[in-house]
Amino acid sequence: MAKTTIAPIAEHGRTGGSTALPERFIYRAKPGISREVVETISRMKNEPGWMREFRLNAYEEFVRLPVPTWGPDLSGLDFQAITYYQKTEERRYKSWKEVPADIKNTFEKIGVPQAERAFLAGVIGQYESEGFYQKLRGKWEEKGVIFCDTDTAVQKYPEMVKKYFMTECIHASEHKLAALHGAVWSGGTFLYVPAGVHIDMPLQTYFRMNARASGQFEHTLIIVEEGASVQYIEGCTAPLYHNNSLHAAVVEIFVKKGARSRYTTIQNWSKDVYNLNTKRAIVEEDGIQEWVGGSLGSKVTMLYPCTVLKGRGSRAEHLNIAVAGPGQHKDTGAKVMHLAPDTSSNIVSKSISFGGGISTYRGLLKIVKGAKGSRSHVQCDALMPDNISQSNTIPYIKVNEEDVTLGHEAKVGRISEDLVFYLMSRGLTEQEAINLVVQGFMEPIAKSLPLEYAVELNRLISMEMEGSLG
Amino acid sequence: MSTLFIKKLHVEIGGKHILNGIDLSVKGGETCVLMGPNGSGKSTLGHTILAHPAVSITKGSITFGTHKLSNMKTDEIARAGVMPALQHPQAVSGVSVVNLLTAAARKFPENKKGFSPARFREEIKAAAKTLRIAPEFLSRSLNEGFSGGEKKKMEILQLSLLPAKCVVIDEIDSGLDIDALKLVAREIMKLRKRGVSVVAITHYSRILRWIKADRVHIMHGGKIVKSGTSALAKDIEKNGYGAYIAA
């Protein structure tokens, strides 16, 4: 399958996926979705009855709900052609020494064990549908931090999962893809940070998807207790082939009073993937949620991370960059609900459309009556180096309170002949000049990323645009 | 040291004749000043030397040493050492002058070996200090929200830090106050001392009080109508272009 990105040192010779390895599995569901497939997944995972019931109810919702038609065209998506579950390992490894050689080599090529040693507090590795490796530095384990794949969490911490899993933040009945996710979810990250614990190094999960025509449905659940803070990063790689694969992840984040959470992801999908995700955070009093995202590759991406500012003085920061090349449609944005007084949100959305690509910013900003003193600023910048691409901005704003401060800016930039001439007159080639302009455009996003990721993001975008301009 | 030769140059922009047979040579270390009223073609001549994409050469040639500039692209011309200080340099959002110079410096054959970004950064800081450019301008987006004077100083800063051999300086004095103009002129004179050929395009002779011109050419209607020494510039300062451009 098709999710790629960003390991600090990437292996791919080009974007949109890397070289495929022989497929590896000990169990693989037959293609298509049915009650039976859902039951089989639950049985293979040896899940408790409540999770099995949850999955079956979500399946009923999936059958009932229509395919969303308000956004990009999803008619090419055939739910019966996709393989929903593929298990590769019997157990979870705690040391890279135990990991089977072929998987270990793959992860070494993309620099995972190296990055873990250098700058990460913990790492989870996921291959196909499930995690195979998990390691948290002892220091954090002693402080009560939990960092494991979500399947493991269902077995080891059922009470917590039962409390937070698609109960309050995102419901399976919200839309067809959330329902499908609820029915067939597998893998993902469970992260629990106890009150007052500040994890000063990022935690990271790496996904490797290797099988063709498959689906990936990881569920990430992050709970940051009062006064705690954490930075979580997702990185993924995938091979090159695909026939209309599907990624429908769900991310649920709970930011308690005075806590701070940063969720960073950069996804580089191969060009026939439908990337349809639902991500949301609920933030309590004085809490802060930051989203940093980069969306590359894929055929269609729909992604609008949402922050619910529930507590007084809570804050949301959304930073996103979407890149749409030939044949690609990026429908991305941000949603913020201001439900309490003195809440603030800042949304910076950047897009690059080239070679006929379409990128749309779709945003929702809602401020309810009584959310006095709330502030919001939305900035949408589009860069279009040619005349055949498209950029749209659809900002919905619903404000029912008068005592608020709102700002909205939208800019569309082209890469002018004079700008390229200027940079070339300093010795840069035309392609290098364009790359530098693009890097400058992304700079506000890049500076929010760990250095390794910023460098990799620049490199991926340059490669993606190579040869498509001029 | 190389000589810039322009021979029988004819140039069009969008099908319109702008230059109608220019002959010019500038030796290494020599300063040549091109003057003339608006629309005389002097900025187009500058753009043509640098192969601006809007400009097309219909006849004639431009060479610099062994390089045939009239067959080269802008970046190749720059790497051969021929670079402009533009009249209206573009703003580059998210890219500082340090980013640009560091990316550019690596491209030059002179820096292929032993280039140290850290040392280069120190050189940039020192050069900025000489030009009295405040340190924060080195990390801000280049030319974004800069005043006319700041932009011009940035242009000279870039030329002084890249291995330039021939510089084409277009209307450097516009937007500069006297103090800034003196600083900029001093940097241009340093380039000249290094053996760099200077082609200075200017409307007014004001800058010639601080830079020493070896040759002054008056342009009109896409041609050089009069050539002389700095005495010619003085005459224009006193009497205007009238005597030279009367049809």
> Best mutation site among A348, A420, A424 for testing chain B: the one with the most B CBs within 10 Å?
A424
Please answer yes or no on whether A436 and B103 come within 8 Å at the CB atom. Answer: yes
Residue A26: count of CB within 10 angstroms of its CB? 10
Residue A426 has its nearest CB partner, among B73, B78, B94, at: B78
Residues A126-147 pLDDT 10s = 877 777 788 888 889 999 999 9
- Interface A:B, Cβ pairs < 8 A: 80
Residues 6+ apart with CB under 8 A from A412: A381, A382, A383, A384, A391
Query: Could you tell me the pLDDT band of residue A70, with boundaries at 50, 70 and 90?
Result: very high
CB A276, CB A245: distance < 8 Å: no
Each residue's pLDDT tens digit, A147-195: 999 999 999 999 999 999 999 999 999 999 999 999 999 999 999 999 9
Residue A121 has pLDDT above 80, yes or no: no
CB pair distance less than 8 Å for A441 and B53:
no
**String of DSSP letters for A124-165:** EEEETTEEEEEEE-HHHHHTT-EEEEHHHHHHH-HHHHHHHT
Q: Where are the domains of chain A?
A: 1-249, 417-470
| Among B212, B144, B202, CA closest to B176 | B202
CB contact (8 A) between residue B50 and residue A418: no
Q: How many CB atoms lie within 10 A of CB A137?
A: 17
Residue B18 C-beta-side C-alpha neighbours within 13 Å: 20
Is this complex's ipTM strictly greater than 0.90? yes
Between strands A390-399 and A358-367, the pairing is parallel
In this complex, do B75 and A443 lie within 8 Å of one another by their Cβ atoms?
A: no
**In chain B, what are the domains?**
4-94+165-245 (3.40.50.300)
In Å, how far is B23's CA from the nearest CA of chain A? 23
Q: For A427, which of B52, B53, B78 is closest by C-beta distance?
A: B78
pLDDT digits (tens, 9 = 90+) for A269-323: 778 889 999 999 999 999 999 999 988 888 899 999 999 999 999 999 999 999 9
The pair of structure tokens assigned to B231 is 């005495």
pLDDT of residue A469: 52
Question: How distant, in Å, are the alpha carbons of A3, A111, A128, B31 from that of A236?
Answer: 6, 12, 11, 58
Q: In sequence order, which residues have a C-beta less than 8 Å from that of residue A2 and are 6 or more positions away? A: A17, A209, A216, A238, A239, A242, A245, A247, A269, A270, A272, A273, A297, A298
